[in-house]
Structures are given as C-alpha cells and as structure tokens.
Structure 1
Amino acid sequence: MAEDYEREKLGNAVNALAVSAAPIQKRLEYAWTAMHTLMSHGFTDLEREAEFAVIKDRLTADKSDEHMGYVPTTCAKLSDNEAMEIAQAIVDLKTRLYHNRIHALEDELEDLKGR
C-alpha cells in the first residue's frame, strides 16, 4: 500500500476527532470508521503498523457485545482520559507519517540540487 493511502485514512481519522462536538468516545468511533480499512491494506512501515495495531487493540478491547460491535462497546466504557490517550496516539501516528514524508521530500530536493 502506498503512503498516500495511509496519509489519507489517518488524516480522515484526525479530522473526525477534531470537527465534531460529540463526546471524545463517539469521536473515536468516527475516527475508527475513517481509518479501519488500514487493517486490510497493511502499512509501508512495520513500526507504524505496530502502532496502529496497538490503537486497534485498545479500540476493540471489549468483545462482550458482538451485536453492538467491539469499537462502540469499548468506546462507551472509556474514561475521558483513556479516550484522549487513544486519540493522541492516532494524532501522533499521523504526525510521524507526515514527518517521514517531509524528510523524504527534503532528501529528494537535496538530490535534485546535487544534479
């Protein structure tokens, strides 16, 4: 999968966290909806994939209600502090992905200057 796809999905997730006035627990559900397809597409970087797996595990920890769904069930039981920690992990993952892109572009620019 291309990093463009990762940036799109994580950007959408951060946007879902930021633009709603809903409680943070509900915004985490929206963020998950925006980025859950990353599970089936994989990541271009194993470290980011591991970070995403931790986020997924935290958002799907409560498997007591299959009908309602793991993410809604889990998010409904999160404290504000727990929810904020998960939201911060999503933002941090997106930020690292964007920093990696910036560094790659800087390297490309240096290569072009050297020609």
Structure 2
Amino acid sequence: MNHKIFTTSFASVYPLYVKKAERKHRTKEEVDTIICWLCGYDKETLQNQLDKQVDFETFFNEAPCIHPNVSLIKGVVCGVRVEEIEDPLMQKIRYLDKLIDELAKGKSMDKILRK
C-alpha cells in the first residue's frame, strides 16, 4: 500500500520540521543534524536532496546509511508505536517525526541522537 507521504516532496515537509523546532526555540541546524544523523547525509548532500525536490521514498532510498542506533528510537508518533511499524519506509519517516518531536519537546541533542 502506497501512502501519500511516500510521494510527497521531502523539501515541502522540511520547512515544517524547521518551523516546529523554531517555535520551541530550537534551530534549523539542530534539525539538519538530526536528519544527517538518521540518514547519513552531510550538509551538502542534504541540500542537494532538498534542491532536487525528491519525494520521501527517494530521500530515504538514496540515504547513504540509516544510523545503526535507529532501533533505540521508541515511542508513539501519530498514535502508532514507531518500533511496531511494519513498512520499512513508513518506519523511517516516523523515526524522523519522532526525533523532531523530541527536539521540539526540549530533549538534549545527546538524548535525541541516542548517545
């Protein structure tokens, strides 16, 4: 089953992540750090993906490497436990949502990045 989010441009949602963080006095840099940690992008390759307007499916498929500690990301996003999501792509999207939520809730970067 293809969800609408899979074909949604990552670049169209990215400003919403930044806005959510900034509303809680966090920064775009912190959002970028989280995305790079999760997906293995660096600042330049992340910006390239944003510039190319790739969809979420492409964004995660082209990710250099999903962080080995993603299994440590637990909890509920949109009423669903992230660790129980069966679709691998949807799980990665929800992992990112969860990390951005944690940032907005004021968690330290060390905790968010599972250090």
Bin the TM-score by the shorter chain.
0.3 to 0.5
Normalising by structure 1, what TM-score?
Answer: 0.34
> Higher Cα Rg: structure 1 or 2?
1
Normalising by structure 2, what TM-score?
Answer: 0.34
Whichever structure has more helix as a proportion of its residues is 1
